């Protein structure tokens, strides 16, 4: 049985399958914003989850 690997900051890895054009655009946007794909995706997910809570 495989164990989940967890980093020192308590985060776990996941993977996404994105269209190559979408991923390229996301990487470019991250560079332009002096950010990372991970930070952008994490913020988008947090916003999505918080918006969902507001609707309830």
Residue 45 lies in a domain: yes
Residue 2 lies in a domain: no
Domain that holds residue 34: 20-55
Residue 11 lies in a domain: no
Of 41, 46, 15, the residue nearest 30 (C-alpha): 41
Residue 29 lies in a domain: yes
What pLDDT does residue 38 have? 96
Residue 40 lies in a domain: yes
Model pLDDT for residues 1-39, shown as the tens digit of each residue: 455 666 788 889 999 999 999 999 999 999 999 999 999
Mean pLDDT of 46-55: 85
Taking the model in full, what pTM does it have?
Answer: 0.74
Burial 15-50 (b: 16+ CB within 10 A, else e): eeeeeeeeeeeeeeebeeeeeeeeeeeeeeeeeeee
d(CA 14, CA 31): 21
* Residue 31 tokens, joined: 């560079």
* Residue 17 tokens, joined: 């399958």
When pLDDT is cut at 50, 70 and 90, the band that residue 54 belongs to is confident
């Amino acid at each position: 049985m495989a164990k989940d690997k967890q980093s020192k900051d308590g985060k776990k890895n996941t993977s996404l399958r994105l269209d190559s054009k979408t991923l390229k655009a996301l990487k470019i946007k991250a560079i332009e914003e002096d950010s990372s794909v991970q930070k952008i995706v994490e913020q988008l997910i947090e916003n999505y989850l918080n918006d969902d809570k507001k609707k309830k």
